[in-house]
Structure 1
């Protein structure tokens, strides 16, 4: 779903020491971090420094990062380490019109670490910030965390309530509540919808997501993401079976039809 140019584990070495003034006031925040990478694609505009936090309360059938589901699968890392790593690429990222994105897993499962990273990326490095979330834990996003977030990448996985629970194991309503909260704040949002043949692709399901998205008034883009099986090898490595191993990827015509439904609501769908 995303074109990654580099994927590296969280560095094991300590980051450079902060300045004396900063060290005197900076709190020490740590979290469970799976990895980081530099990417272009659907992680926000331009080239992005993307940090993947470990842990997710959803159990999506088509999850392509099953290795990020459990916090224990990550490494205990400090915000200082991650910010220092991002700083190495700051000039390049800014020249490329990019920024820093917090992903997972589900970043809001670790709201303190998430808030610290977004704040320091924005105010110390001067980077555009994005939060990639399902919205299920949107109530954990504080006002200050959202103030430090320039863009929210919000996954709306289904409109049909029963189907949403089947796909994720969780109810849809918290995501809708968070979406409305973001709309009330006027926060820029990109909605992301994964098109899975035989699962999320019924026309009325896509139309429901489209109509709700259009009603918000703060969504500048919709990414219709074709289902793929690129994460299947990760399930095998974990000794698990990929739940949708027999499901095909959608055809270009099916993707175009879904995008047309969003476009009919006046949305920019890609």
Structure 2
């Protein structure tokens, strides 16, 4: 059993509680217009091919500094659910907190087993309008909503992540509908608003990909505060 891996981060502070060891998996079925890791899309372009034991050894080297646990991100980690499951089994044997950063695009028996070894899910619900979601990601919204329903049914702790992109995800009606939808789940512990930025533009250019958002400016502080106020008005912790 080997996983296709893009990279590691040994001092992650935005990927779950505490300081975390982050594993970025290679491969993703989404094609988000604002993706900051377009170099993770194709699984066969992985920089590393490792066993779960080898990945845990990388964590073990820095465990005295990484007190929070392991987060598996991507790419889309559920694309390699079997590998992540074996890694998380090792984590649980060693008392290590586990988290997955996912779009929730896959839900099958293997993913459900993986979730039973997962302490926290960082879920990206990128838009609540189905048509806009499809425009933004090139995939359907429905699997992600079904994934959220399942997380609720097993009472799995969730941190929701919302990338605020001017002209794409900042419409007041969409923000209100998004907040209305997610506020009905009791397992949502917090919402993180992630302001859109242009730091990935060089990756798109290096890969010779058409970056459609090159003229979009990051949201202003006023726009961020507006989104935050809408989410908080539905009782969400932002």
Report the TM-score, using the length of structure 2 for normalisation.
Answer: 0.96
1:103 alignment counterpart: 73
Deviation at 1:91, TM superposition (A): 2.6
Report the TM-score, using the length of structure 1 for normalisation.
Answer: 0.85
Structure 2, unpaired ranges of 5+: none
1 CA distance for matches of 2:6 and 2:14? 19
SS in 1 for 2:184: helix
Deviation at 1:79, TM superposition (A): 1.3
The counterpart of 1:43, out of the listed 15, 28, 34, is 15
SS in 2 for 1:163: helix
2:193 alignment counterpart: 224
| Alpha carbons 2:97, 2:119 under 8 Å: kept | yes
| Alpha carbons 1:139, 1:178 under 8 Å: kept | no
Q: Give the alignment's Cα RMSD to 1 decimal.
A: 1.2
| Alpha carbons 2:11, 2:66 under 8 Å: kept | no
| Alpha carbons 1:108, 1:140 under 8 Å: kept | no
SS in 1 for 2:82: helix
| Alpha carbons 1:36, 1:50 under 8 Å: kept | yes
1 CA distance for matches of 2:132 and 2:11? 31
1 CA distance for matches of 2:11 and 2:31? 24
Would you identify which runs of 4 or more consecutive aligned residues in structure 1 move more than 4 Å? Answer: none
Deviation at 1:41, TM superposition (A): 3.4
| Alpha carbons 2:10, 2:62 under 8 Å: kept | no
In terms of Rg, which structure is larger?
Answer: 1
Aligned residues: 237
- Residue 176 in 1 paired to residue 145 in 2? yes
1:91 alignment counterpart: 64
Deviation at 1:140, TM superposition (A): 5.8
The counterpart of 1:234, out of the listed 196, 203, 210, is 203
SS in 2 for 1:93: coil
The counterpart of 2:124, out of the listed 155, 158, 162, is 155
2 CA distance for matches of 1:222 and 1:196? 16
Structure 1, unpaired ranges of 5+: 1-28
2:101 alignment counterpart: 132
2:176 alignment counterpart: 207
